[in-house]
């Protein structure tokens, strides 16, 4: 399943983000200061069930390929599976970085996210179904919510998760 996910995101135009090592974060910071692209720039770790993401992907904004503006998603493999063949269940978060800011809560430079995070969910669904993933439905995982992320940026969501199966076909 991991290989199918890697393959699907790659074919959909997403790049796997580098790990956030100190040197790599400095390189990303320099790209941000110069308003340059960094197609595999690291993303801050996020946590699900007390562990960081297993995979991180990003995609530059088509209107501005700078590292300051990028789509990204983090994925975790869960211990759950779907019957009848016990297909692994992965969960994800997604956001769109709109620029760089000093976080009011962390007092460090960070990306400022677009608060309408459901737009990122729609982009990922569109990109992955274009390369053959199948939308199986949706699940309400939370009530509609307005909240704040760890950096203090507001966000809102309708609380739905889209269920995709990753039996992807090759694009010609």
Distance CA 139, CA 89 (A): 13
In a domain, 138, yes or no: yes
| 170 within domain boundaries | no
Instruction: Tell me, yes or no, whether 26 lies in a domain.
Output: yes
* Structural domain total, the chain: 1
Which residue range is the domain that position 131 belongs to? 2-165
Global confidence as pTM: 0.87
User: What pLDDT is recorded for position 172?
Assistant: 44
Looking at every residue in the chain, the average pLDDT score rounds to: 89
Question: Could you tell me if residue 142 is inside a domain?
Answer: yes
Residue 24 Rama label (left phi>0; alpha psi -120 to 50; beta):
alpha
Distance, CA of 113 to chain centre: 12
Tell whether the model's pLDDT for residue 169 goes beyond 70: no
pLDDT digits (tens, 9 = 90+) for 78-130: 999 888 888 889 999 999 998 877 777 666 777 789 999 999 999 999 999 99
The pLDDT of residue 150: 81
Give the mean pLDDT of 46-71: 90
**Distance from the Cα of residue 51 to its chain's centroid:** 16
Tell me if 21 is assigned to some domain. Answer: yes
- Domain-located, residue 171: no
The answer to the question of residue 37 being in a domain is yes
In a domain, 98, yes or no: yes
How many CB atoms lie under 10 A from the CB of residue 26? 10
Output the pLDDT for position 68.
Answer: 84
At 10-40, the pLDDT tens digits run: 999 999 999 989 999 889 888 888 888 888 9
Radius of gyration of the CA atoms of the chain, in A: 16
């Amino acid at each position: 399943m991991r290989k199918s996910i890697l393959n699907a995101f790659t074919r959909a135009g997403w790049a796997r983000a580098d790990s956030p090592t100190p040197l790599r974060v400095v390189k990303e910071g320099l790209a941000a200061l110069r308003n340059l692209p960094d197609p595999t720039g690291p993303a801050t770790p996020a946590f699900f069930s007390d562990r960081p993401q297993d995979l991180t992907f990003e995609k530059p904004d088509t209107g501005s390929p700078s590292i300051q503006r990028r789509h990204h998603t983090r994925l975790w493999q869960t211990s759950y599976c779907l019957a009848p063949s016990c297909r692994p269940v992965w969960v994800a978060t997604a956001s769109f970085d709109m620029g760089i800011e000093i976080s009011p809560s962390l007092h460090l430079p960070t990306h400022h996210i677009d608060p309408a995070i459901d737009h990122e969910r729609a982009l990922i669904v569109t990109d992955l179904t274009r390369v053959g993933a199948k939308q199986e439905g949706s699940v309400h995982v939370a009530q509609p919510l307005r909240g704040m992320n760890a950096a203090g940026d507001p966000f809102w969501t309708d609380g739905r998760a889209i269920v995709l199966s990753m039996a992807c076909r090759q694009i010609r």
